[in-house]
Amino acid sequence: MLRIDSLRKAPNAELQLPGSKSITNRALIIASLAEGTTSLSRALFAEDTLAMIDCLKSFGISIEANQPMETIDVTGTNGKLDAPQDSLWVRQSGTTARFILPISALITAPIQVDGDAQIRSRPQEDLLRALNQLGVEVAYSGEPSHLPLTLNGSNLKVKDIKISGDTSSQYLSALLLVSPCLPQKITFTLEGNAVSLPYIDMTIEMMRSFGAIVEIDEPNTFTVHPTGYTGRDYEIETDASTASYFFAAAAVSQGRVVIDGIGENSIQGDIGFINILEQMGAKVTIGADSIEVSGQNQLKGIEVSMRELSDTAPTLAAIAPYCSGTVRVTDIGFIKNKESDRVSAVVTEMKKLGIDARAEEDGFVIEPGMPIGNVIHSYDDHRIAMAFTVLGLLAEGVVIDDANCVAKTCPEFYEHIDTLRLEGDEELAILAIDGPAGSGKSSLAKLLAQELQLEYLDTGAMYRSVAAEVIAANIDPEAYREVTQITDNIDISFNGQEVFVNAKNLTKQIRSPEVNSIVSYVAANPGVRAILRRAQRSWARQRGGGVLEGRDIGSVVFPKAKLKVYVTATPEERAHRRSLESGRDMKEILNEIQERDEIDSSRTDSPLSVSSNAIVVDTTDKTLSEVANEVLRNFNV
Ligand code: CDP
Ligand code: CDP
């Protein structure tokens, strides 16, 4: 359950969003089939692209992914792939499932493909029929035309193929992507009233960038020559679908966002979403490598076909209630086959918020209204979760039941959303106190909270709580995923001096020497920090302010805090204080806190540092009340 805190002020933010999922997954396929190496930059690291990387590795392809740098290096195979030993697992990823299936045409051994329940239920029939026509044998272990299945390309016969495009354009994209590696040239004819055509253009554009020859003879007839691909360095654009939520948020709140890494030459169809916002009254400025959207007045209603950019239909729905007139989206009946039935999901959840919304045969209609608070079901669909988060920025009390599904395409989505709230934090009565162990942070924070009649949050206790759970679960404190997962499932609450972790009173345990010895390793984990930072921000925003103490409150959690204080004291003094409190040997404590100081100050994510414009107080020779008086003189709520 994630409660969406509303915006207090219109946002004004420049964002670095992750790379495009569609481009990353196409680039991974092409690079794997290419001759020579490919280096991808601004690659997306999310469930859907990790699924693709894992599947491609099963074909013996060497892929080196560097998540912090957002790069992926692929050693190409020139189309000569090993047969995978085990069944391929596509997780929940539609592009991975579809792009991987035609690779069977390049392998003379059976390959098995399977994935999560959600992908098992999504249709693949037209693609499988096309592969079958090329001589690929298909055997189903479950329902016909669905995963799990086994493909065998031993009897490949290249011939021209007709394929329907009215369920998904991914089928044709999938076939096109392997075609340069087939032994002969091949022609595809796209039949029916094809959907999402810009994705086919994207595929062809990318294939050509890697040396393929694709001829478009008549509309809907595509001939690919057997040239293979040539590896190269390739920069991936920022994801236009992910960007749509931030453009929408800026337009509807009369704020401003700038998104870098995407611009006038974008190959993503979802970039068209900004044209819709422009027609509704937003101001849009497109540069070579960035796009700025700002809201001017209340947005107008619109009637619009979203056939070409249907992934952004829920985004438009999210801002529809706040428009001055009706919003009608047409031509998107096919999105019932996405991660969820998106038309029905949008309408059902809108109604829960008291909004007049209805489904039509090929789209939906949403009337203006003020959403009331309620719990939104995400249907395990990232786009539903993200869209209703944007809606929640302007309403009170919107809660997303399973917000983690955003990890499919943008694991850091809520961090970016938080960036939109930073302007509004100036309005809160926040006192940020940072400093090393034993500097007097918590004594000072408690005293000031009392004086100022604000609530107090000990963020160190939150990191300590995670550390205690890591010890209890017997997990390596530096194991990124496992420790992040523990943090995701932790429920920390405070009752006066007492700390409850998942309903257990762990007040004593979290101060134990065992916790002291691992807490800084746990706290260096960016996944842990992201989750706790979000909880800390939400805590203060829901209260209109508070006194928070820790290591990064002024520098990262609340850079716009009303007052930032950095307290410090000599290591000996700090160890002496801790020794008086606990009765433990001072030398031992000195070693312990110096070790923690070192890890806390040198980690890459939010190191302990004096934030700009913080007042620095050396407490070594000062009493607590002297320090408190000094701080209070600077704090005017
Ligand atoms: O009270 P003491 O200074 O011993 O530690 P604490 O405030 O309870 O914090 C324990 C540990 O949590 C620190 O050594 C940091 O590694 C971590 N921490 C952090 O990284 N960021 C915060 N905002 C608070 C604590
Ligand atoms: O939270 P942090 O680790 O920074 O320190 P604390 O728990 O507030 O302070 C550690 C001990 O030092 C407490 O027993 C305080 O009473 C004492 N202290 C002090 O002697 N002089 C100060 N100016 C601040 C704290």
Q: Contact at 8 Å (CB) between 24 and 44?
A: yes
Q: What's the average model confidence in pLDDT over 593-597?
A: 95
Q: Contact at 8 Å (CB) between 382 and 411?
A: no
* Nearest ligand by distance to the CA of 447: 2
User: Structural domain boundaries of the chain?
Assistant: 2-17+238-419, 21-235, 428-635
Instruction: Give the lowest-confidence range in 205-209, 269-273, 301-305, 407-411.
Output: 407-411
Ligand 1 atom nearest the C-alpha of 597 is: 14
* Nearest ligand by distance to the CA of 435: 2
Q: How far is the CA of 636 from the centre of ligand 2 (A)?
A: 24
- Which ranges in 339-429 belong to alpha helices (H)? 342-352, 382-392, 413-421
571, two tokens:
């290591």
Q: How far is the CA of 550 from the centre of ligand 1 (A)?
A: 6
Q: How far is the CA of 463 from the centre of ligand 1 (A)?
A: 7
Ligand 2 atom nearest the C-alpha of 446 is: 8
Ligand 2 atom 23, closest CA: 624
Which pLDDT band holds residue 305 (cuts at 50, 70, 90)? very high
Q: What is the share, in percent, of the chain residues with pLDDT greater than 70?
A: 100
Q: How far is the CA of 539 from the centre of ligand 2 (A)?
A: 24
Ligand 2 atom nearest the C-alpha of 443 is: 8
Residue 358: predicted pLDDT:
98
- Which ranges in 440-525 belong to alpha helices (H)? 441-452, 459-472, 480-488, 513-523
Fold category of 428-635 in CATH: Rossmann fold (3.40.50)
Q: How far is the CA of 42 from the centre of ligand 1 (A)?
A: 33
- pLDDT exceeds cutoff 70 at 257: yes
CA atoms 513, 460, 46, 402: torsion sign: positive
- pLDDT exceeds cutoff 80 at 313: yes
Residue 557 DSSP symbol: I
441 lines ligand 2 (CB under 6 A): yes
Q: How far is the CA of 567 from the centre of ligand 1 (A)?
A: 13
Ligand 1 atom 18, closest CA: 460
552 lines ligand 1 (CB under 6 A): yes
Superfamily covering domain 21-235: Enolpyruvate transferase domain (3.65.10.10)
Residue 336: predicted pLDDT:
83
Q: How far is the CA of 402 from the centre of ligand 2 (A)?
A: 40
Q: What's the average model confidence in pLDDT over 114-140?
A: 94
Q: Do domains 2-17+238-419 and 428-635 have the same CATH topology?
A: no
464 lines ligand 1 (CB under 6 A): yes
627 lines ligand 2 (CB under 6 A): yes
Ligand 1 atom 7, closest CA: 460
What does the alpha-carbon distance between residue 69 and residue 42 come to, in Å, rounded to a whole number?
A: 8
Q: How far is the CA of 580 from the centre of ligand 2 (A)?
A: 10
Pocket residue to mutate for ligand 1, from 456, 551, 565, most atoms within 8 A of Cβ? 551
Q: What's the average model confidence in pLDDT over 4-14?
A: 97
Q: What is the share, in percent, of the chain residues with pLDDT greater than 90?
A: 92
Counting Cα atoms < 13 Å in the Cβ hemisphere of 563 gives: 20
Residue 636: predicted pLDDT:
64
209 lines ligand 2 (CB under 6 A): no
What does the alpha-carbon distance between residue 380 and residue 371 come to, in Å, rounded to a whole number?
A: 22
Residue 183's Cβ-count burial label (10 Å; 0-12, 13-18, 19+) is exposed
Active site residue 126: no
How do 110-114 and 88-89 pair as beta strands?
parallel
Q: Contact at 8 Å (CB) between 29 and 177?
A: yes
- pLDDT exceeds cutoff 90 at 612: no
Residue 76's Cβ-count burial label (10 Å; 0-12, 13-18, 19+) is buried
Residue 28: predicted pLDDT:
98
Selection from 217, 259, 210, 212 nearest residue 238 by Cα: 259
For residue 2, give the H/E element and its range: strand 2-4
Pocket residue to mutate for ligand 2, from 434, 441, 443, most atoms within 8 A of Cβ? 443
Selection from 254, 255, 259 nearest residue 243 by Cα: 259
Pocket residue to mutate for ligand 2, from 464, 577, 594, most atoms within 8 A of Cβ? 577
Pocket residue to mutate for ligand 1, from 443, 459, 522, most atoms within 8 A of Cβ? 459
CA distances from 223 to 162, 170, 197, 231 (A): 12, 17, 17, 21
CA distances from 373 to 312, 326, 424 (A): 23, 21, 20
Q: Contact at 8 Å (CB) between 323 and 300?
A: yes
Q: pLDDT digits over 33-46, tens only?
A: 999 999 999 999 99
596 lines ligand 1 (CB under 6 A): yes
- pLDDT exceeds cutoff 80 at 125: yes
Q: Contact at 8 Å (CB) between 338 and 381?
A: yes
What does the alpha-carbon distance between residue 111 and residue 98 come to, in Å, rounded to a whole number?
A: 14
Question: Which pTM value belongs to this model?
Answer: 0.91
Q: pLDDT digits over 66-89, tens only?
A: 988 999 999 999 999 999 999 999
Query: Side chain identity at 634, as an amino acid letter?
Result: N
459 lines ligand 1 (CB under 6 A): yes
Q: What's the average model confidence in pLDDT over 48-70?
A: 96
pLDDT higher for 29 or 123? 29
Pick one of 3.30.160.20, 3.40.50.20, 3.65.10.10, 3.40.50.300 as the CATH number of 2-17+238-419.
3.65.10.10
Ligand 1 atom 19, closest CA: 551
CB atoms within 10 A of CB 69: 10
Ligand 2 atom nearest the C-alpha of 436 is: 4
Q: What's the average model confidence in pLDDT over 512-516?
A: 94
Ligand 1 atom nearest the C-alpha of 461 is: 8
What does the alpha-carbon distance between residue 72 and residue 93 come to, in Å, rounded to a whole number?
A: 19
Q: pLDDT digits over 90-112, tens only?
A: 999 999 999 999 999 999 999 99
Ligand 1 atom 1, closest CA: 437
463 lines ligand 1 (CB under 6 A): yes
Residue 342: predicted pLDDT:
95
> Helix-strand-coil percent breakdown of the chain, rounded to 5?
45, 20, 35
Which pLDDT band holds residue 633 (cuts at 50, 70, 90)? confident
Selection from 202, 193, 333, 186 nearest residue 262 by Cα: 202
509 lines ligand 2 (CB under 6 A): no
- pLDDT exceeds cutoff 60 at 22: yes
Question: In sequence order, which residues have a C-beta less than 8 Å from that of residue 30 and are 6 or more positions away?
Answer: 38, 177, 206, 207, 210, 229
Ligand 2 atom 3, closest CA: 438
What does the alpha-carbon distance between residue 24 and residue 636 come to, in Å, rounded to a whole number?
A: 50
437 lines ligand 2 (CB under 6 A): yes
What does the alpha-carbon distance between residue 383 and residue 240 come to, in Å, rounded to a whole number?
A: 13
* Nearest ligand by distance to the CA of 552: 1
- The whole-chain average pLDDT of the chain stands at 95
Q: Could you tell me which residues are beta bridge partners of residue 365?
A: 328, 358
Residue 166: predicted pLDDT:
83
600 lines ligand 1 (CB under 6 A): yes
The active-site residue out of 5, 48, 114, 311 is: 311
Question: In sequence order, which residues have a C-beta less than 8 Å from that of residue 554 and are 6 or more positions away?
Answer: 432, 433, 434, 561, 564, 565, 566, 611, 614
Residue 340: predicted pLDDT:
84
Q: pLDDT digits over 150-192, tens only?
A: 999 999 999 999 998 888 889 999 999 999 999 999 999 999 8
Q: Contact at 8 Å (CB) between 347 and 316?
A: no
Q: How far is the CA of 438 from the centre of ligand 2 (A)?
A: 5
CB atoms within 10 A of CB 120: 18
CA distances from 433 to 323, 380, 449, 543, 553 (A): 41, 38, 11, 17, 7
